[in-house]
Amino acid sequence: MSERVFIGVAWPYANGSLHLGQIAGANLPADIFARYHRTKGNEVLMVSGSDQHGTPITIKAEQEGKTPEEIADYYQREYLDCWQKLGISFDLYTTTGTANHTAVAQDIFRRLLEGGYLYRETVSQAYCPRCERFLPDRYVEGTCPSCNSPGARGDQCDACGKPMNTTELIAPYCRTCKTTPIFKDSEHFFLKLSEFQNKLSDWVEKQTHWRPNTLNLTRRYLKEGLRDRAITRDIEWGVPVPVAGFEHKRLYVWFEAVIGYLSASKEWAKSHGDEEKWRPFWEGGVKSYYFLGKDNIPFHTLIWPAMLMGYGGLALPYDVPANEFLTIEGRKVSTSQNWAVWLPDYLSRYDPDPLRYLLSINMPETSDTDFSWREFVRRNNDELVATYGNLVNRVLTLVYRNFDGRVPEHEELSDPDKSVMKDADSYLRQTGELLSRCNFKQAIMTAMSVAHGTNRYLDEKSPWKVIKEDRQAAANSLYVALYVISCLKTALYPFLPFSSQKVHEYLGFAGKVEEAGWQPQPPPPGQKLREPEPLFTKLDDSLIEEETRRIGT
Ligand SMILES: [Zn+2]
Ligand SMILES: [Zn+2]
- Residue range 473-483, pLDDT digits in tens: 999 999 999 99
Measured in Å, residue 221 CA sits from the centre of ligand 2 at 22
* 190 Cβ neighbours under 8 A, 6+ residues apart: 118, 119, 120, 121, 228, 229, 230, 231
- What is the DSSP track for 9-39? EPPPBSSS--BHHHIIIIIHHHHHHHHHHHH
Specify the 3-state DSSP secondary structure of 191.
strand
- Residue 338: CB atoms within 10 Å: 13
Measured in Å, residue 306 CA sits from the centre of ligand 1 at 36
pTM: 0.95
Decide if pLDDT at 163 tops 80.
Answer: no
Ion ligand 1 residue ranges (Cβ < 5 Å): 128, 130-131, 174, 176-177, 179
Measured in Å, residue 174 CA sits from the centre of ligand 2 at 18
Specify the 3-state DSSP secondary structure of 445.
helix
Decide if pLDDT at 415 tops 90.
Answer: yes
Distance CA 118, CA 123 (A): 15
112 closest CA partner among 320, 303, 290: 303
Measured in Å, residue 53 CA sits from the centre of ligand 1 at 21
Measured in Å, residue 467 CA sits from the centre of ligand 2 at 70
pLDDT in tens, 526-537: 999 999 999 999
Strand ranges inside 209-368, DSSP E: 229-230, 232-233, 250-251, 287-293, 322-323, 326-328
* 206 Cβ neighbours under 8 A, 6+ residues apart: none
Measured in Å, residue 51 CA sits from the centre of ligand 1 at 26
pLDDT in tens, 243-276: 999 999 999 998 999 999 999 999 999 999 999 9
Measured in Å, residue 141 CA sits from the centre of ligand 2 at 12
Confidence of residue 238 (pLDDT cuts 50, 70, 90): very high
How many angstroms from the chain centroid is the CA of residue 550? 25
Measured in Å, residue 131 CA sits from the centre of ligand 1 at 4
pLDDT in tens, 330-349: 999 988 788 999 999 999 99
Letter string b/e over residues 406-420, b meaning 16 or more CB atoms within 10 A of that residue's CB = bbbebeebeeebeeb
324 closest CA partner among 332, 313, 312, 335: 332
Measured in Å, residue 449 CA sits from the centre of ligand 1 at 60
Measured in Å, residue 173 CA sits from the centre of ligand 1 at 8
Identify the nearest ligand to the CA of 182 by its number. Answer: 1
- Residue 538: CB atoms within 10 Å: 13
Distance CA 256, CA 252 (A): 6
Percent of the chain with pLDDT over 90: 92
Is the torsion defined by CA of 248, 115, 282, 491 positive or negative?
Answer: positive
Task: Give the pLDDT confidence score for residue 389 in this predicted structure.
Answer: 98
- Can you list the alpha helix ranges (DSSP code H) found in 52-94? 55-64, 68-86
Identify the nearest ligand to the CA of 133 by its number. Answer: 1
Identify the nearest ligand to the CA of 160 by its number. Answer: 2
**Mean pLDDT for the stretch of residues 389-415:** 96
Identify the nearest ligand to the CA of 176 by its number. Answer: 1
Measured in Å, residue 150 CA sits from the centre of ligand 2 at 8
Distance CA 288, CA 290 (A): 7
The backbone torsions φ and ψ at residue 201, rounded to the nearest 5 degrees and listed phi first, read -60, -45
Tell me the pLDDT of the chain averaged across its residues. Answer: 96
Task: Give the pLDDT confidence score for residue 337 in this predicted structure.
Answer: 84
Measured in Å, residue 163 CA sits from the centre of ligand 2 at 9
Measured in Å, residue 176 CA sits from the centre of ligand 1 at 5
